[in-house]
Structure 1
Amino acid sequence: MQSLPVDLLIEVLLGLYLGLLTGIVPAFVAGSLGFLVRYFTGVTLPGFGVVVLALSIASVQGGLLGLVEPTIAQSPRLLVAVLVVLMLALYAHNQGDKLGAELPRRLSFTRLRQRTLSADVVELVGSVGQVTVRPTGEIRNMEGYPPLSATLRQTLKSGSWRLPADLPLSELESRLEERLRTDHDLADVDVAIDEQGRATITAAPPSGSLSRRVAAGQRAVSIATLVPTGLGRGDEVTVRTGERSIAGTVVSARTDIDDEHARAPVPDDPPAELATDGGADVESEIHTAKPTAATAGGPGRVTVSVARRDVKAVLEADSPRLVVRSRGTSREFEAFALVKREGYAVRRITVGTSDAADESADLEDPPSTGTVSVLAVRRQGSETGGRSNGWVFGPGIERRLEPDDEAFLAGPDDAIEAFAEAIAR
């Protein structure tokens, strides 16, 4: 009489063992079948069918394993094993059905490359979304280059950069790399940004940055003169030395005011009038403030790239004067201003992925009452060499928009709105 609980416990443990042994294959089949049916048809496989399928597979497997014996079939362990098999099969089916419902129907390498930011990190400034990208972890050294200095490493680690939030992550990474090269004269940099706007930076310190900005056949000459306010690297200038005027390009500039700002100590405690409302720390903003690339103006020194034959004349001048030459107006901004002046709007759209969007996206018959002009189209394919930033300007009326194409449209607001709704379905 006292051995009954012990015998029952042994039967339960043996039933659990047999159930786990024979339930692995039915659970795998039920989970796979539930995922495939839900993913391709959108219908959930009935639970009764899962039970029948699992029992059938378990009985066949049990027969192959020699588990169907009179002693086992008449013992309580068989009931426990059947319950374990059914629970495993139903759980696997539920997980497979859930995965089939959540997995995107159309998954391509283009979509993977064009991952975008999470909506939680996007900040709306007016009607434009922006994101503040900050580095995460340590700033890594790039293999094959000398290590970064402690000052430059700390500057990069404490930095933050505001970028447009409507761009894919690959484009954000390219823009941040270009900005870091420009601001810090890095020899090379590699940036990886995740969906939360956190950047992993691998950088190489500046190496011969001045010589790389001097063109072949020219020499860099430093002169002490009155520096115009706003002078920056790349400006075209004329050095006047008495009766001669020598053309050159600014490769670096520094004024006494810039040096004073660089030597100014950072206050330990922020002044009372700069107290924040809880949104940001004033001290961190003071530490992370960076001077602009343009000079403040005043007495200083400028390094100018001039022709080799003009080096002696510049060095022998007693009081050279610096005159900035005009580069002209940006034609891109002029063209955009003319479009806005005529009452037209410029909008960036993405063509939908449905068949209806492909049928209605003919450039020669826009689905609107006004005239819509397609200024540029970006497409993944042979025309752009597989690059994500290849734009085709002025595509022409013989070109049709295809799913996932990005395009810039120009025209009346109502016409663009109707056109965008038609091709985005």
Structure 2
Amino acid sequence: MAALPFEILLGIYLGVLTGIIPALIAGVLGFIFKYFTDVSIPGLGVVVLALGIAGVNGGLMALNDENIRTSENAVALLTAIIVVLMLALYAHSQGDKLGASVPKRISLRKLRDRTLNTDVIELVGGRNQVRVTVSGEVTDVEGYPPLTAELRGEIKDGHWTFPADIPVGELETRFADRLQSELDLAAVTVSIDERARANVGAAPPIGSTSKRVPDGKRAVSLSALVPSGMTRGESVRLVTPSETVTGTLIAARSGDKPADKPSTSADPTVATDGGETEPMVPKPPTASTTTGGEGRVTVVVDRSVAKTLLEAGELQVVVLSRGTRREFELVSLLRRSGIRFQKLTVKPTGPLDGHTIGEVSVRDTYNVLIIAAKHEQWQVAPRGSQILSAGDSLYVIGSREALASFEEVAV
């Protein structure tokens, strides 16, 4: 008969060898049952399963090893059984914990969403903000002319701040849209890392006139007596001795003031009583309009009549009635009844994140109505089955108090 310590060590050795597979199976089954059914497998079931699988493994090992097959010591066998059961119960408990902690709703969008490092987040006015800094040189976009030095400096040295509670992918989109709208860039590519450092590629603005001419149309510039108060987008009628043409105004100049650029102050300083000068605070830009008189207009017309207008000697410009915009009337009626519009963004871990509009019961719970939502693309009048995630944009209407409470809780 072998010594007791040797038998115990042999039992531990056999228990580990035969208990690996039962422990793995017990852990996987525990995770699956807890994740999908929220039910834990009873301990007795784990014991029976582990002993059954370990018995099969022990039998196979006995066939290959004569020492195991001829061993008659009960201490080694008892020690092996205890080790097998301990491994199986421990693996089952860990699988059960994992099944309870893994979220039930996992989407590909959430897996690919990256978040910012907390070190770059700043608290400004009670809100978390992040400042995006442009690292390296601003590159050119292939297929477009190169950027000027002034535009590169504006992009690199600009102060670009955004909310910090949005994923990095949404932050890249917002930064690109802001650059394109503020600097009138033709194309922008943005890549941002977790420390809010951006690599930017941009293309300079292209001609403003060509961007406003639809396909199949032509822009024609003509000299005429220009009415006062005209601005870009007016519907005008051009009267010639032989033909009358209707088009859309995209630029006009009467006297020295163009309609496509706002007027600015000519004197940037003001003299004080002490003889010193102080900088004048610039006035906010106003809608640019013509002042009337002789000038030139640029009108978008059909291709077939462009040549006729260019050959015409005398020309009259008549401004057509724009009519009443029904959408403005609707907004005015809603405002008079106490209803307001507001654009909001869904916050992470909020009641809307990962749920549909119907599941949250937005109308009944918060007394507001979502009239448009952008999940992957804009959806007007979304249905109750529309799912929402962190970073989605919403247009919401409701009373001022209801919007304030909804913004505080849900977004």
Relative to the length of structure 2, the TM-score reads 0.51
Map 1:41-120 to 2 at 5 A.
41-66=37-62, 69-72=68-71, 74=73, 76-109=75-108, 111-112=110-111
Any unmatched runs of 5+ in structure 1?
219-235, 258-293, 296-305, 308-330, 381-387
1:199 matched to 2:226? The reply is no
Superposition deviation, residue 141 in structure 1 = 7.2
1:29 matched to 2:25? The reply is yes
Provide the C-alpha distance between the structure 1 equivalents of 2:11 and 2:136, rounded to a whole number of angstroms.
53
Provide the C-alpha distance between the structure 2 equivalents of 1:152 and 1:137, rounded to a whole number of angstroms.
15
1:376 matched to 2:371? The reply is yes
Q: State the secondary structure of the residue aligned to 2:35.
A: helix
Provide the C-alpha distance between the structure 2 equivalents of 1:334 and 1:122, rounded to a whole number of angstroms.
41
Superposition deviation, residue 64 in structure 1 = 2.6
Amino acid at match of 1:44: S
Q: State the secondary structure of the residue aligned to 1:66.
A: helix
1:351–1:401: 8 Å Cα contact kept in structure 2?
no
RMSD: 5.8
Provide the C-alpha distance between the structure 2 equivalents of 1:39 and 1:342, rounded to a whole number of angstroms.
49
Provide the C-alpha distance between the structure 1 equivalents of 2:89 and 2:142, rounded to a whole number of angstroms.
55
The structure-2 alpha-carbon separation of the partners of 1:182 and 1:414, relative to structure 1 and needing over 3 Å to count, comes to closer
Provide the C-alpha distance between the structure 1 equivalents of 2:140 and 2:22, rounded to a whole number of angstroms.
51
Provide the C-alpha distance between the structure 2 equivalents of 1:413 and 1:30, rounded to a whole number of angstroms.
56
Q: State the secondary structure of the residue aligned to 1:162.
A: strand
Superposition deviation, residue 65 in structure 1 = 3.1
1:179 matched to 2:162? The reply is no
Q: 1:20 aligns with which of 2, 16, 20?
A: 16
Superposition deviation, residue 412 in structure 1 = 2.9
Which stretches of structure 1, 4 residues or more, deviate above 6 A after TM superposition?
113-120, 136-160, 236-240, 331-338, 352-356, 414-418
2:134–2:197: 8 Å Cα contact kept in structure 1?
yes
Amino acid at match of 1:412: S
Q: State the secondary structure of the residue aligned to 1:95.
A: helix
2:105–2:354: 8 Å Cα contact kept in structure 1?
no
1:124–1:130: 8 Å Cα contact kept in structure 2?
yes
1:360–1:367: 8 Å Cα contact kept in structure 2?
yes
The structure-2 alpha-carbon separation of the partners of 1:245 and 1:148, relative to structure 1 and needing over 3 Å to count, comes to closer
Q: State the secondary structure of the residue aligned to 1:171.
A: helix
Deviations 1:166-210 (A, max 9, x none): 65554322102233456786954232465xxx336343365xx25
Identity of aligned residues (%): 35
Q: 2:398 aligns with which of 411, 419, 422?
A: 411
Map 1:316-335 to 2 at 5 A.
none
Provide the C-alpha distance between the structure 1 equivalents of 2:41 and 2:138, rounded to a whole number of angstroms.
50
Deviations 1:368-398 (A, max 9, x none): 8x9x674622265xxxxxxx24141xx3xxx
Superposition deviation, residue 58 in structure 1 = 1.0
Instruction: Give the aligned partner of residue 271 of structure 1.
Output: none
Amino acid at match of 1:60: V
The structure-2 alpha-carbon separation of the partners of 1:24 and 1:202, relative to structure 1 and needing over 3 Å to count, comes to farther
The structure-2 alpha-carbon separation of the partners of 1:140 and 1:414, relative to structure 1 and needing over 3 Å to count, comes to closer
The structure-2 alpha-carbon separation of the partners of 1:247 and 1:183, relative to structure 1 and needing over 3 Å to count, comes to closer
1:215 matched to 2:214? The reply is no
Instruction: Give the aligned partner of residue 339 of structure 2.
Output: 344
Q: State the secondary structure of the residue aligned to 2:130.
A: strand
Amino acid at match of 2:339: Y
Provide the C-alpha distance between the structure 2 equivalents of 1:376 and 1:20, rounded to a whole number of angstroms.
62
Deviations 1:94-113 (A, max 9, x none): 22112111111122335556
Q: State the secondary structure of the residue aligned to 2:200.
A: strand
Provide the C-alpha distance between the structure 2 equivalents of 1:150 and 1:175, rounded to a whole number of angstroms.
24
Amino acid at match of 1:132: V
The structure-2 alpha-carbon separation of the partners of 1:400 and 1:215, relative to structure 1 and needing over 3 Å to count, comes to closer
Q: State the secondary structure of the residue aligned to 1:215.
A: helix
Instruction: Give the aligned partner of residue 390 of structure 1.
Output: 378
Provide the C-alpha distance between the structure 2 equivalents of 1:151 and 1:247, rounded to a whole number of angstroms.
25
Provide the C-alpha distance between the structure 2 equivalents of 1:339 and 1:119, rounded to a whole number of angstroms.
41
Q: State the secondary structure of the residue aligned to 2:86.
A: helix
Amino acid at match of 1:90: L
Q: State the secondary structure of the residue aligned to 2:210.
A: coil
Q: State the secondary structure of the residue aligned to 1:378.
A: strand
Superposition deviation, residue 73 in structure 1 = 5.3
2:134–2:200: 8 Å Cα contact kept in structure 1?
no
2:113–2:168: 8 Å Cα contact kept in structure 1?
yes
Superposition deviation, residue 70 in structure 1 = 4.2
Provide the C-alpha distance between the structure 2 equivalents of 1:140 and 1:10, rounded to a whole number of angstroms.
73
Map 1:120-131 to 2 at 5 A.
121=121, 123=123, 125-126=125-126, 129-131=127-129
Q: 1:132 aligns with which of 130, 133, 153?
A: 130
Superposition deviation, residue 82 in structure 1 = 3.4
2:357–2:386: 8 Å Cα contact kept in structure 1?
no
Provide the C-alpha distance between the structure 2 equivalents of 1:132 and 1:52, rounded to a whole number of angstroms.
56
2:130–2:161: 8 Å Cα contact kept in structure 1?
yes
Provide the C-alpha distance between the structure 2 equivalents of 1:116 and 1:238, rounded to a whole number of angstroms.
48
1:26–1:58: 8 Å Cα contact kept in structure 2?
yes
Deviations 1:70-104 (A, max 9, x none): 43452654444434433332332222112111111
Q: State the secondary structure of the residue aligned to 2:56.
A: helix
Map 1:276-315 to 2 at 5 A.
none
The structure-2 alpha-carbon separation of the partners of 1:177 and 1:95, relative to structure 1 and needing over 3 Å to count, comes to farther
Deviations 1:17-67 (A, max 9, x none): 433332221121111111112112323333443233222211112213336
Superposition deviation, residue 343 in structure 1 = 3.5
